[in-house]
Chains A and B, each alone.
Chain A
Amino acid sequence: DSGVTQTPKHLITATGQRVTLRCSPRSGDLSVYWYQQSLDQGLQFLIQYYNGEERAKGNILERFSAQQFPDLHSELNLSSLELGDSALYFCASSAMTGGSTGELFFGEGSRLTVL
């Protein structure tokens, strides 16, 4: 158990819908990362938050948004869903201060299926 909690574990929805994925980092970790994993694209970096602030942005679509709350949990919102958004979404946290890179502790992931 990495200490990173993600909900829901599985989610099935229809095209055009909106979903919210939730992540609770390890106790004390201030950095939260979101990654998308699909079969042929490996682990795609979406976005990083550090202590409530956005620190780095990757190939995150405009239909996607995220935030980190004062209690440090994070949510990833996916809207106007398309078939191609079906993937495993990982959240990870890091103990590194200042938002720098260190060992990432991944959650178990949220598997999104868009029908």
Chain B
Amino acid sequence: GENVEQHPSTLSVQEGDSAVIKCTYSDSASNYFPWYKQELGKRPQLIIDIRSNVGEKKDQRIAVTLNKTAKHFSLHITETQPEDSAVYFCAASRYGGSQGNLIFGKGTKLSVKP
């Protein structure tokens, strides 16, 4: 089955700096890669996702890149703000099939210092 590795487990940056979180996946058939943000004591929420037919996707200060050959994808947050502090999870699955077993990485705790 799919296995998703995520690094780093913790990340501390100064406000205004950029943050990068990296993930690798094992199943070459995976083609859907979402990122979820979980604030302290709250539920995970989707912030951005990418399918394997594109290499990069941006949404304001957030971008995700995908390298299918190397089987890794990354989340980039620019101009970080204190409200970006949270745990971020990457995930992978096969989109378009009949199963939705979305497999998550173990998470990255991002701290943005004012």
**Interface residue ranges, A against B (CB under 8 Å):** 2, 31, 33, 35, 40-45, 48, 50, 55-58, 90, 94, 96, 98-104, 106-109
Contact = CB atoms under 8 A, between A and B. Distances in A.
Contacts of A103: 34, 46, 49
Interface stretch (B55-63, B64-72, B92-100): B92-100
Chain B contact surface mostly: loop
A33 B100 contact: yes
Contact of A99 (B1, B43, B98, B107): B98
B105 A108 contact: no
Contacts of A106: 43-45
B86 to A, nearest CB: 14
18 contacts: A33-B100, A43-B104, A48-B100, A48-B101, A55-B98, A55-B100, A56-B101, A90-B43, A98-B98, A100-B97, A100-B100, A101-B94, A101-B97, A103-B34, A104-B44, A104-B102, A106-B43, A109-B43
Q: Tell which of A42, A44, A50, A99 has the most Cβ of chain B within 10 Å.
A: A42
Return the 7 tightest CB-CB contacts between A and B, nearest first: A56-B101, A42-B106, A106-B43, A43-B104, A56-B99, A101-B93, A101-B100
B99 A99 contact: yes
A100 B45 contact: no
Contacts of B43: 2, 90, 106-109
B11 interface: no
Interface in B27-50: 32, 34, 36, 42-46, 49
A112 to B, nearest CB: 16
A48 B94 CA distance: 14
B102 A101 contact: yes
